Copies of this chain bind each other. A is one copy, B any other.
Amino acid sequence: MENSRPSSKRFLDIVSDLRTIIKEEGAVIGDKLPSERVLADRLQVGRSTIREALRSLELLGLIETRRGEGTFLADYKKHQLVEILSTFIMQNPQSLKSVDDTRRIHEKAAIECISNDPELRTLPVWESFLGKLKGIDLIIREELLQEIVVVSGNRLSLKIWFLLKQYSRVPYHEAMAEDEKEIATNLLKEMMNGNSHLAIMWYTDWLDIVIGERRGEHEC
């Protein structure tokens, strides 16, 4: 910790020092870190400076603080940085199309993933969906798509998908129409048979109907 020079941003040095401390103490996820007051004393800075560094790390999802208890090494897997970034970046209306495109990328990938995995594509949940699609039950669009993305097993992809869903133009919360049910049924069947290519085709058809998009449009 060689911060002899006044580097104009002490709290950045603190962030670095904290990493060193965590490393030295061999702290593992869930472990408790020294209290703010102790850290301030040990690093010879004010408590507020320590806090600025800690709050930064908290927003990054690297630590977790519980009032009255202390500060703990967090489980990074939550990927909450994506959320923060998104709230700042996604307010650009012009990027709505890229949001839709990206969401579609993840849905396609999930369908493909399941189609190519003998275990996943034979899960009973798909039969269950087929049954519901035959009947007169109301099925919300996102029920099926969410199940697909969840089952595919990629947690980060799921997280991103959830995020994008919020900003999407596609009315996910509505129920499927009759002709949609038919297409969804075909999608499921091909997926269960392992025909990823056909499943993707039905998926594309489905979205075309929902959004009423022009086929020839430049789409990626």
Contacts and interface: CB of A to CB of B under 8 A. Distances in A.
Number of identical monomers bound together in the oligomeric complex: 2
Contacts of A102: 154, 156-157, 160
Interface stretch (A103-111, A128-136, A172-180, A186-194): A103-111
Contact of A99 (B15, B56, B156): B156
Nearest to A63: B88
Nearest to A16: B87
Interface string A55-83: 11111101000010000000011000110
Contact of A48 (B48, B105, B157, B197): B48
A214 interface: no
B220 A117 contact: yes
Contact of A157 (B15, B82, B105, B153): B105
A113 interface: yes
A163 B55 CA distance: 22
24 contacts: A11-B55, A15-B59, A15-B84, A19-B87, A51-B52, A52-B55, A56-B56, A60-B84, A60-B85, A62-B85, A62-B88, A76-B92, A77-B95, A82-B163, A85-B163, A89-B159, A95-B155, A102-B156, A102-B160, A105-B109, A105-B157, A114-B220, A117-B218, A154-B220
Contacts of A48: 48, 51
A90 to B, nearest CB: 8
Contact of A81 (B53, B55, B81, B90): B81
A101 interface: yes
A73 to B, nearest CB: 9
Interface in A134-174: 152-157, 159-160, 163
A69 B74 CA distance: 35
A116 B154 CA distance: 26
A23 interface: yes
